[in-house]
Structure 1
């Protein structure tokens, strides 16, 4: 008897429906074809034990299973439940009526209970697009998949519940999730708040500008000056995610199995990898490609602490994703693309000793050591960072001040207002949503300067010997400062402030 049942494979952040054809005929043998990996080939042992422990069995006949499309590599143990239900239906142990209306996925334990799977959200989205009635998967993934409106999602604890459903003994109940309520459940009191930061008013201003325009930023200061403290609080002033951003971010985390039981991610991600990270772990890849840290930071913040300590080869692979805002990983048989639109926040000591710009500490590093230390970061990478700002230690008087600083909620209101102005400006500009994403044509259109501002920028370019990319960065930052002031045009004050945020371009830093 031949039975067709459906599963799903996740490639990149998109899902593809897999047709599992199970044929049970006279003879002996178990044949699984269609490019399964070792985890799928071993599934017959898990299936046999799970069925036996629930009063069923793999029939002693010739079982042939084809996973189509046969030229696509299938991986992982998430097909256990699909294969098990297919075998039971093909051997006549359970009814097969309506089985083709569902996508069925889940990893089996030997007692028949189900373990969570990866990629529940993209699987649910694909199932809805292809018109499936419902999705049956482990209970742990039900809330995540149920975010998709118009798709019946059934979370199950063990295979017996699935069998009882198709046998008509006890029908499964669909998981109900109010996606709008989940999305609008915002965190008004973030864990890390700017009100906790004493002093550093100029740095807070700089972080506000970075958040308002989506600009990459590097903090340069001695140990203990508060660089990490400031970086951790940046997500708290970013605008709330849109529903599209929340779904896109959740999809990326879903395919790596990193989503929480709450389902939809409503908080912007903050990723802080260790400096020993490899280039594959940062940008993604591997034998079976997975998103890297820069994709897990999509729509959020990637924080690289002590930037010169990262291997140069690791830093250089970020250059293209910073420009294109996506990562493409190519293999012989396929190519996958992961979105990677993130804000880069980096920190570094100003010198090997750490106290180059600290007025109260002696400089212990020679000019050659300084040049070698700063030379670990390439010029092209620094050019892709819009804002360079020096962070100095906070004096005791400000540290002991009991007055509370401005809260993240108040700063976020100004940032959100500036982002709304940018959204209106770029409404018909395709993939451009905020100032940091502007291309050359848009910079010329939206960052026009009057004679005085142009002369000021020209003088700074010649004196600091800035590159063409640095010129564009200054214009983008100046446009953001003007947006925060609700100014239609860029003035000399906006240009002057933007030029101050190119610390590493000044003579005495990089020579």
Structure 2
């Protein structure tokens, strides 16, 4: 007796086809799962055995062999429970194997026969749609699967209901259509008193997708400014929303089946490990930089992060993806993020204030800032000093301009960039490179001379030089200028850090 059920293995944002091959032969009863299963897959034997017993079925006293093909592809996760159970049911004749051949199945089994949610259903649904098959998944994730397009989704609450549906005796309802999550702007820039330079830098960062570092004393409003950034960013485009939702699905964070519309904002604690930040671990999962894909990764208290952890961000910030290499697999996650960081100028935070600064100033500032490597600082486009806010500043009336006004200018600049780069690959100025960057961001003659003189005086690296060009192009877009001029280059240079630390 044998049967085959289709399922998937997740490698990054790719769902690869896996066949669950079930064979029952005579011999001393045993239950074996082969094909590079991890512990969660091996433990499926007990979950499947208990779930079948809960619906009144017992495994036959035979040698049960489950092969997960291809055998050289690592299998991780509990979503293999349901296809293994369905394969056994088909092998003993409890359901029709021909009917199952038209579906891809994913889901975790509870001991009482319920089908529990498992990460990655959206990816499995996209794979099933591409293979012209339907999808069998947990009832709680039917709405999530329906975002993959036109495919037959069987969202079952438990094994009994699923068997009744497959036999045609009691059909399950189609998954309910769920709207995309509502847009929420969060903190408003109108809450920020003063800090006009920092707010201008935040607008430029939002308009061009640039990285930003804010340095200033405690309580100056750095974290509040960073939290305001998602409120001035444009909503995700449909294709972008699908990308972000796929990452969330793999991580198991796509709650309620609602596709993402708002750009992610991730703010990990400075004690985060390297796998937590860039991805990896025993079971390879996306890290914070991937969960912030097409959104904002905010690192508060930047020098308090471990230096190797920070330096692991250098390659993803350049390439827009993270590659996690293992002995038997290679997984890639997207990581096109805006890095926004905040730091105090020194450990006590009051450098430059004789009344509050510690006795080790200014040496303590050099030691503290040296915790962040020069190559990482060179990848940050905008460096802003955020001054402390006095009690008098707090009594001032709120600014006349809030997040909605700034968001309109940012949206207009993003629209200009969308037209400019249509068909070329980049989405924002921060992603432009090579000949394309030279074609769209080369300044006029006065601007080119200023940039050349400043590059020599400030000892800009080639990367720093091109990042100034990108920022200047964004400033020109906000001003509605066709060509980058001297004034745009001058403002871009004012945000450049002159002396990177080693």
- Normalised by the shorter chain, which TM-score bucket? over 0.9
Deviations along 1:74-97, one digit per CA (max 9) or x if unpaired, are: 122211121112112211233334
SS at 2:126 equivalent:
helix
Cα distance in structure 2, aligned partners of 1:362 and 1:279: 33
Distance in 1 (CA, whole Å) between partners of 2:171 and 2:374 is 63
The within-5 A match list for 1:148-297 is 148-177=148-177, 182=180, 186-187=182-183, 190-297=185-292
Aligned equivalents of 1:367 and 1:204: distance in 2? Answer: 28
Match of 2:454 in 1: 460
Can you list the C-alpha shifts for 1:364-396, whole angstroms capped at 9, x where unaligned?
A: 443332222121111111110000001012233
The residue number in structure 2 matching 1:49 is: 50
Structure 2 match to 1:381? 376
Q: Any gaps of 5 or more consecutive residues in structure 1?
A: none
Partner of 1:39: 40
What are the residue-to-residue correspondences of 1:314-333 with 2, within 5 Å?
A: 314-333=309-328
Distance between the aligned counterparts of 1:75 and 1:450, measured in 2? 55
- TM-score normalised by structure 2 residue count: 0.95
Determine helix, strand or coil for the equivalent of 1:436: helix
Aligned-partner Cα distance in 1 for 2:355–2:452: 35
TM-aligned CA deviation for residue 404 of structure 1: 5.0
Segment drifting more, 446-455 vs 383-392: 446-455
Give the Cα–Cα distance (whole angstroms) in 1 for the partners of residues 86 and 437 of structure 2.
Answer: 58
1:351 paired residue among 343, 346, 349: 346
Q: Measure, in 2, the Cα distance between the counterparts of 1:362 and 1:161.
A: 69
Distance change in 2, residues 1:95/1:489 (3 Å): closer
Matches within 5 A, 1:464-483: 464-483=458-477
Would the aligned equivalents of 2:302 and 2:341 in 1 still touch at CA under 8 Å?
A: yes
Residue aligned with 2:476, SS: helix
1:198 and 1:405 in contact (8 A); partners too = no
Alpha-carbon distance in 2 for matches of 1:324, 1:343 = 13
**1:410 to partner: Cα distance:** 2.0
Deviations, residues 162-193 of structure 1 (Å, cap 9, x unaligned):
11112222112221426xx52xx652x52222
* Kept after mapping to 1: 8 A contact 2:378/2:463: yes
Matching of residue 11 in structure 1 with residue 11 in structure 2? yes
Q: Which runs of 5+ in 2 are unaligned?
A: none
2:74 counterpart of 1:59: no
Q: How far apart are the structure 2 equivalents of 1:434 and 1:234? A: 16
Counterpart pick for 2:445 among 448, 451, 454: 451
Distance 2:269 2:321 in 1: 22
CA contact (8 A) 2:211 2:338 kept: yes
- Please point out which of 406, 409, 423 is paired with 1:428: 423
Distance 2:345 2:252 in 1: 38
Q: For the structure 1 residues 497 and 359, does the alpha-carbon distance in structure 2 shift closer, same or farther, using more than 3 Å as the test?
A: farther
After superposition, what is the alpha-carbon deviation per residue over 1:101-135, rounded to whole angstroms, capped at 9, x for unaligned? 11122111111112110101111000110110x21
Distance, in Å, in 1 between the alignment partners of 2:52 and 2:469 is 66
Deviation at 1:313, TM superposition (A): 0.8
| Pairwise CA distance, 1:360 | 7.7
1:476 and 1:8 map into 2 onto residues whose CA distance is: 41
